[in-house]
Chain A
């Protein structure tokens, strides 16, 4: 039997349940089949008018009905779907009672234009409307449903209730690294001995006009609208930005000891985490790449491994000119001569960038690669970039012998998190 404590004497943390929903579809099976099939979930935006916009595509999820529609409502529903799948697979707790805390990565919540115009109409202001009018209408009216929907803790409160998790739910954001941070907090809680289990969910359903325009104004998005499925081109020389997307990933984490004692399915081991914030710039990486280099090294060291032990890298790989160049610099520095031999793929080429959910979605895809001993491809790789001499598993999936893998998540605000996952020791 493999030891239940790691080399540092901490409880080994395993994954006993996974759930996912992306623009490719709902559930582990559908997502994995399409992912290794090289399918794209990116499409022209139909949810709202994209007139006048430079970017008119996204990996939005239009097959999950939500009413009344809002970004937090869709985000919550996506998180719920992923969470249900993970909890069911883990066969843990009882309906409405999960025996551990909830760590939830969610986008910051904002009141939307529908609510502002509703308030404006209620205010009776008939020429120019000002926030003073909205505030007056707010104070005079009954809008508890809006409070319940748009207060920052809203999604966490609802999902904690739905799953019956224990204690205060933690809602968090570390931008594009949020999903990884949610899992990291769960791992740390189990390592501290605070709990034997944790439910970690990351969800994002925020494709709306304002967010598309915000990222567009930062020059972060691909404008290759036609055909949509060819827009996301991580590591290719003609990459021109990321494609905004929606999705959710959820994992049930348990101490190896507790999971084995109850005969739970052991899907994999979360072996180590690394992080280091970047103090260089709000949206750009330090030119020397030090933060992401140290972040990856910290994760590998925390797992008690060396770079030679890593068989596969699931890249942050957004497809922006800057990210992919800097990630390549980081990987080349950490892996040295081996860098060209370690396959590195970006599933953002297929599902787009699920922002808040990405870290969890990608940790799950990474584990699925280990479980299936198969590397999902990086699609839309037609024009190699000589500045990125890496094996990106271009366009077609392939089998591989995999034991440990690294997944990177980097975000605005200098957020960097890397996670190492592995298979259960035999």
Chain B
């Protein structure tokens, strides 16, 4: 049961990744365990590329598409899918008071401009003047807007009319956990009735791979499922977008909306990453779950493949005795939107009453034919931040 008098339903899901677009493509892809990755274009790093999409289906105006870089297009597209799924697309009365929290990265660079400027900076004696002149002549005036982190939310307001409120959280996995947690907490406390929450990632970006590469976190060279990344660890950055429509039960019932699942709890931790830190944090989160959380349940893990976080999470989960699926093995790791994506995939599983197939050669993920009523979703940041959500079937 939910840990609040005001129950939160998931009434809409919009997802897209290397597996395709929408619930059925993801369910099929997850069961096939045939990861779609690219280990050559962004060498030495491995990424999961976005499946082909028809942008016009959710972003009808070409002018809007042109104003965005890919990560904003993916997010705006997935937000449209979520609104369709919840049956509120174009419903001005609902969109007027729909709250929005986006978990975003941003700063998508124009690599052609950057390449030319860096090349020139190494050769010129007057770096200041050179930089100014090139930026003034080479930057597209609207590029800045396509880079700004809050302009995914801004684009969703413009394209889909979600205007009740608009907030953008930043900061890797933690921002995605807090986006969902705050949206949920606001609904539970009566501060919000309906919220759009999620985010997007374009993994096919050298400028972003560079930032995570500074830390040594992205997976290099050789692809394997996350639990098998023992000698060569790392996350395979994944292009994906995920939005959830979270809605107070009464609000949903009054407009005749059906629940895809119930979001029963969302909690977060900020553990010191010292030996045992992740185990202790996940332990505190797990112990705070409702008493029946582990009945007919499975774990949808956000394990990224990064060391030592994934190994420590694996050890913790091994002690809980529930079947585990790490979606990162198939759709990659997208940091900010990963938690929303995994909650969406958990909702698909409990909605269908069964778990998807394992995708792991280490033997940690085992087949399960048990009835599934609940999914516990984990998020363990590659560097900091832990989160847990409980998603329940509404039957």
Contacts and interface: CB of A to CB of B under 8 A. Distances in A.
A414 B153 CA distance: 9
Interface string B64-93: 000100000000000000000000000000
A108 B158 contact: no
B26 interface: no
A314 interface: no
B251 interface: no
Contacts of B290: none
Interface stretch (A129-137, A240-248, A326-334, A376-384): A129-137
Contacts of B115: 128-131
Contacts of B214: 138, 143-144, 146-147, 150-151
B168 A49 contact: no
Interface residues of B, number: 81
A178 to B, nearest CB: 8
Contact of B178 (A150, A152, A170): A170
A144 B211 CA distance: 10
Given A51-B128, A152-B171, A132 B166 contact: no
Interface stretch (A224-232, A280-288, A342-350): A280-288
A151 B383 contact: yes
Nearest to B133: A52
Interface string A274-315: 011111111100000001000000000000000000000000
Contacts of A129: 115, 118-119, 122
A116 interface: yes
Interface stretch (A32-40, A90-98, A187-195, A251-259): A187-195
Contact of A217 (B139, B220, B270): B139
Contacts of A148: 215
B150 A411 contact: yes
Given A144-B215, A168-B174, A191-B191, A209 B132 contact: yes
Contact of A415 (B43, B141, B154): B154
Contacts of A168: 174, 177-178, 268-270, 385, 387
Contact of A170 (B121, B169, B189): B169
Interface string A232-274: 0000000000000000000000000000000000000000000
Contacts of A120: 118-119, 121-122
Interface stretch (A15-23, A153-161, A393-401, A418-426): A153-161
A217 B43 CA distance: 34
A116 B114 contact: yes
Nearest to B41: A132
Interface in B72-130: 100, 104-107, 111, 114-115, 117-119, 121-122, 128-129
Contact of A188 (B155, B178, B186): B186
A277 to B, nearest CB: 4
B45 interface: yes
A134 B150 contact: no
Nearest to B172: A153
Contacts of B207: 111, 131
B194 to A, nearest CB: 14
B209 interface: yes
Given A152-B175, A412-B151, A282 B42 contact: no
Contact of B166 (A135, A153, A167, A174): A174
B170 A173 contact: yes
Nearest to B153: A413
Contact of B168 (A173, A194, A209): A173
Nearest to A110: B107
Given A129-B122, A167-B268, A414-B163, A277 B215 contact: no
Interface string A184-205: 0100100111100000000000
Given A134-B206, A147-B211, A52 B171 contact: no
Contacts of A360: none
A407 interface: no
B164 A276 contact: yes
Contacts of A413: 145, 148, 150-151, 153-155, 157, 166
Contacts of B175: 152-153, 170-171
Given A53-B136, A106-B170, A160 B270 contact: yes
Contacts of A276: 163-165
A354 B161 CA distance: 29
A113 B169 contact: no
Contacts of B171: 152-153, 156-157, 169-171
Contacts of B269: 167-168
Contacts of A193: 189
B211 A139 contact: no
A138 B142 CA distance: 29
A49 B139 contact: no
B151 A282 contact: yes
Contacts of B121: 113, 116-117, 120
B148 A174 contact: no
Nearest to A107: B149
Contact of B111 (A131, A169, A213, A275): A131
Contacts of A368: none
A333 B20 CA distance: 48
Contacts of B118: 113, 116-117, 120, 129, 134
B270 to A, nearest CB: 5
A135 B131 contact: no
A171 B169 contact: yes
Q: Which of B44, B133, B154, B178 has the most chain A CB atoms inside 10 A of its CB?
A: B154
B167 interface: yes
Contacts of B385: 153, 168
Contact of A278 (B151, B163, B212, B213): B163
Interface of B: 42-45, 67, 100, 104-107, 111, 114-115, 117-119, 121-122, 128-129, 131-133, 135-136, 139, 141-145, 147-151, 153-155, 157-158, 161-172, 174-175, 177-178, 182, 185-186, 189, 191, 206-207, 209-217, 220, 268-270, 383-385, 387
11 contacts: A108-B147, A113-B131, A135-B44, A147-B215, A153-B171, A153-B384, A156-B171, A172-B169, A209-B128, A210-B135, A282-B151
Given A136-B43, A276-B163, 13 more contacts: A49-B128, A116-B121, A129-B115, A147-B212, A151-B172, A152-B171, A152-B175, A169-B171, A172-B168, A173-B148, A278-B163, A279-B161, A412-B154
A-B residue pairs, 7 tightest by C-beta: A49-B128, A413-B154, A153-B171, A147-B215, A147-B214, A131-B206, A138-B213
Interface of A: 48-53, 106, 108-111, 113, 116-117, 119-121, 127-132, 134-136, 138-139, 143-144, 146-148, 150-153, 156-157, 160, 167-175, 181, 185, 188, 191-194, 209-210, 213-218, 275-283, 291, 411-415
